[in-house]
Chain A
Amino acid sequence: MSLFAGIKKFFKGLDQQHRRKAVEDLEWEMHELQHIFGLLTLGYMVGLPSAPLPVAWELLPDMPQEFAIMLARLNTAQNPLSEQFSRLDVS
Chain B
Amino acid sequence: MSAARPQVRFFMGKGGVGKSTLSALSALYHADRGRRVVLASFDPAHNLGDIFQRKLADRPVSVLENLSVAEIDPEKWSREYLKEAEQQFRAAYAYLTTFSLEKHFKVIRHAPGVESYALMRAFDHLYRDGKADILLLDMPPTALSLSFLALPKLSLLWLGQLHALRVEIQKKQKMINRLRLGRREMERDRVMENINRQTERWRERSAVFSNNAQTRYLLIENPDALSALENTRIEERLKELGYGKPERVVNKAADDQSAFPLAPGLYGLEKMRAYIARHKSVFDALIR
Measured CB to CB, the residues of A under 8 A from B are: 19, 22-23, 26-27, 29-30, 33-34, 36-37, 40-41, 44-45, 50-55, 57-64, 66-67, 71
Contact = CB atoms under 8 A, between A and B. Distances in A.
B169 interface: yes
B180 A52 contact: no
A30 B166 CA distance: 10
Contacts of A36: 165
A45 B89 CA distance: 15
A33 B170 CA distance: 10
A37 to B, nearest CB: 5
B92 A61 contact: yes
A88 to B, nearest CB: 20
Contacts of B179: 19, 22-23, 26
Ranked 4 nearest A-B pairs via Cβ: A61-B92, A51-B158, A53-B113, A30-B172
Nearest to B189: A62
Given A33-B169, A37-B162, A66-B191, A55 B198 contact: yes
Contacts of B104: 45
Nearest to B103: A45
A52 B169 contact: no
A62 B89 contact: no
Given A57-B89, A61-B88, A33 B168 contact: yes
B166 A37 contact: yes
Interface string B203-247: 000000000000000000000000000000000000000000000
Scoring B100, B155, B193 by chain A CB atoms within 10 A of each residue's CB, the highest score goes to: B155
19 contacts: A36-B165, A37-B162, A37-B165, A37-B166, A51-B155, A51-B158, A51-B159, A51-B161, A51-B162, A52-B117, A52-B155, A54-B114, A58-B194, A59-B162, A59-B195, A60-B88, A61-B92, A62-B194, A63-B191
B57 interface: no
Given A26-B179, A52-B151, A61-B92, 19 more contacts: A23-B176, A26-B175, A37-B165, A44-B111, A52-B113, A53-B112, A53-B114, A53-B117, A54-B151, A54-B155, A55-B155, A59-B191, A59-B194, A59-B195, A61-B88, A62-B193, A63-B190, A63-B191, A64-B93
Contacts of A34: 169
A27 B191 CA distance: 18
B198 A57 contact: no
B62 interface: no
B262 interface: no
Contact of B92 (A40, A44, A64): A64
A40 B173 contact: no
Contacts of A51: 155, 158-159, 161-162
